[in-house]
A and B are shown apart, each in its own frame.
Chain A
Amino acid sequence: MAIAGLADHDAVAARYKSVDPVYEQTRDMRLLGFVFFLLSDVVLFSMFIFAYLYLRSSVPNWPPITASGHRLPRFDTAFAAWNSIVLFGSGVTMHFAMENWKHLNREKFNFWLVSTIGLGIAFLLGQAYEYHNAAISWAGSTMGASFFTLTGMHGFHVFLGVLYLVVLLVQANRGVYTPSKYFGLTAGTLYWHFVDVIWVALFYLFYLM
């Protein structure tokens, strides 16, 4: 029994130490491809952001004044600041998850990755609450249309990110990744940091500017 256990341990250790030459050779190319994917997403968000800035600069007052003569309200900065911290916190927990993966600490990796997924879901629930209680709607003003388009597109990215992280969690626990071969986890971490950083821009544009 003990010998069988040792043999298992040796097999796992050998698998962890083994280096896949094809993976080693293509890892940087995959990474570069993923960074280009993120850059294409930057372009997508930039187009909508510049459209918003153009619309914003085309009216004399912001928030704009409606046809009926009343000024639209500003968004709730206090709630948005708190919800932003929830999302930024998930970036930190994702970073911790990745560090623990590199240091072979599987339990802490699981804990931090599940925390990241939980914080991502909390952010989405916060955004749903904000949409439900918003004083403006999608239709009727450039402010509302811009806000719901951009934050909705970002929220969709967060939603996809949460699904992606769940897949990574399952894959990691099924042994798809090893400490020397974990490109999927690297890509997931970069994607999650990316949605955090896009939110920095949106938070400033809609709530602080």
Chain B
Amino acid sequence: MTAALFERGLAFLGALLVGGTALVQLKNDWGSHGLDAAVTKVLLGLMAFGCVLALLAAINVLGGGS
């Protein structure tokens, strides 16, 4: 197993775990009100989107690196 494959595997599992957790937290916070809650929801959503990007990079759909 190459280092790159190992890193991709870790990134794949991590993206599933972190992205899934971020989405669950977003769902739990969905009904909360206030400026801080609104900003937190936006940022959690964008973070979940980042996890999707990392997931796609891990399986070589995005990015053409090693």
Contact = CB atoms under 8 A, between A and B. Distances in A.
A203 B36 contact: no
B11 A78 contact: yes
A194 to B, nearest CB: 7
B14 A95 contact: no
A207 interface: yes
A78 B66 CA distance: 6
Contacts of B19: 88
A82 B53 CA distance: 11
Interface residues of B, number: 36
A32 B18 contact: no
A18 interface: no
Interface of B: 3-5, 7-8, 10-11, 14-15, 17-19, 21-22, 25, 35-36, 39-40, 43-44, 46-47, 49-51, 53-54, 56-58, 62-66
Interface of A: 28, 31-32, 35, 38, 74-82, 84-86, 88-89, 91-92, 95, 186, 189-190, 193-194, 196-197, 199-200, 203-204, 207-208
